[in-house]
Amino acid sequence: MILRLKRGGGPAEIQALRSRIESEGLRVYQSPECLRPILAIVDKVPEALAADLLQSPQIEETTQPKTAWRLVAREFRDSRTQIDLGGVRIGDDTVVVIAGPCSVEGRDLIEETARSVADSGAHILRGGAFKPRTSPYAFQGFGVEGLRQLKDAGEKFGMPVVTEIMDAADVPAFVDHDIDCLQIGARNMQNFRLLKAVAVAGRPVLLKRGLSSTVEEWLYAAEYLAAGGCHDIILCERGIRTFETATRNTLDLTVLPLLAELTHLPVIVDPSHAAGIARLVAPLSRASIAAGAAGVAVEVHPRPHEARSDGPQALLPGELTGVVADARIQAAISGRQLA
Ligand code: PEP
Ligand code: MN
């Protein structure tokens, strides 16, 4: 049940209301918005309490969300979530571009790539240090050393960084290296212990859609983060597995207008992992922004044929510049602007 309180209620009144609900053994969460507080009771509300709450002078309106998730439901916020990712805003009326190699492959290469990302006008640097690879014999990433190299490259060129975390035990290393945003990869979207551990890291989280996950499962995964105390969640559509084999995955752009109804969280698109083919990335980026994405995340490599992972989908630096230029145009067409 979601309770919209009247404007102007003081913290003591809100606390009294929360205590009343909690005294019945129910869990209640408060929306981070402060003008008109919103409370969400995530457990089933007994009829007597529901009737009681309806009478409460503090409460303007109670709603039963149509969906089973609560804290990420559109109804839980008056306005859409805006996130400060290391100084770059996501989810306002701007469009962001995240770019970088699939994997951090060494200090020189990440610096060379970061320079081209910064030159292209993109905003945030990506690169995997812990790589989820299908084969145990494939390059697994440089681990903590990769985090260090990525962060140093980001600092050198003035960009915040995002990188994937695969193990709950690594949270302290990500925080110690001041990683600006923790990515939950598609393969780990339903790794609930990882979600709980990342939720308390105090950093924005980029939550990729699982390989074969429904929108509902994806939002439940986001709800794990929110229930764990993380409000800065960015959803990332990266293609889903279908019968189609001509592309690596099938990009599901339907989720963009749909999620705008279902959740207050910003949604970005990763066309690189969706297509798996570099030449498809630019048109899919344009389509994503046209359909309302808050940004795109793309892979780039100075020499894709030498990349240690995902070379076939990596843009060349010049192609990335084109994607950013297109993003600017598409943003303007939809009444927004490039971040
Ligand atoms: C990645 O971003 O490098 C990655 C492995 O993506 P995904 O989890 O979407 O496959
Ligand atoms: Mn990749």
Q: What is the pLDDT of residues 22-41, one digit of tens each?
A: 999 999 999 987 678 899 99
Residue-level pLDDT at 7: 82
- Coil, helix or strand at residue 269: strand
Q: What are 151's two structure tokens?
A: 């962060």
Helix axes 144-156, 107-120, angle to 10 degrees: 40
Residue-level pLDDT at 159: 98
Residue nearest to atom 10 of ligand 1 (CA): 186
Instruction: Answer yes or no: are the C-beta atoms of 179 and 164 closer than 8 Å.
Output: no
Q: Which residues of the chain have pLDDT under 70?
A: 34
Instruction: Answer yes or no: are the C-beta atoms of 331 and 94 closer than 8 Å.
Output: yes
Task: Please give the Cα distance from 304 to 309 (Å, whole number).
Answer: 9
Residue nearest to atom 1 of ligand 1 (CA): 102
Q: For ligand 1, is residue 118 a contact (CB within 6 Å)?
A: no
Q: What are 51's two structure tokens?
A: 């009737």
CATH 3.30.70.1140 domain range(s) in the chain: 2-64
Q: What is the pLDDT of residues 49-66, one digit of tens each?
A: 999 998 888 899 998 877
C-alpha of residue 310 to centroid of ligand 1, in Å: 10
Cα separations (Å) of 215 from 9, 59, 247, 269, 273? 35, 31, 21, 14, 18
Residue-level pLDDT at 8: 77
Task: Please give the Cα distance from 54 to 72 (Å, whole number).
Answer: 23
- Which atom from ligand 1 is nearest to the alpha carbon of 132? 5
C-alpha of residue 102 to centroid of ligand 2, in Å: 4
Residue with tokens 């110690």: 176
C-alpha of residue 100 to centroid of ligand 1, in Å: 12
Task: Please give the Cα distance from 135 to 309 (Å, whole number).
Answer: 11
Question: Which residues, listed in sequence order, are joined to residue 185 by a DSSP beta bridge?
Answer: none
Instruction: Answer yes or no: are the C-beta atoms of 100 and 126 closer than 8 Å.
Output: yes
Q: For ligand 1, is residue 100 a contact (CB within 6 Å)?
A: no
Residue-level pLDDT at 37: 87
Instruction: Answer yes or no: are the C-beta atoms of 150 and 125 closer than 8 Å.
Output: yes
Q: For ligand 1, is residue 208 a contact (CB within 6 Å)?
A: yes
Residue-level pLDDT at 50: 92
- In CATH, the number for domain 83-338 is 3.20.20.70
Cα separations (Å) of 101 from 124, 203, 300, 301? 12, 22, 5, 5
For residue 66, give the H/E element and its range: none
C-alpha of residue 130 to centroid of ligand 1, in Å: 11
Q: What are 337's two structure tokens?
A: 């602007």
Kindly state the DSSP code that residue 243 receives in the 8-state scheme: S
CATH topology of domain 2-64: Alpha-Beta Plaits (3.30.70)
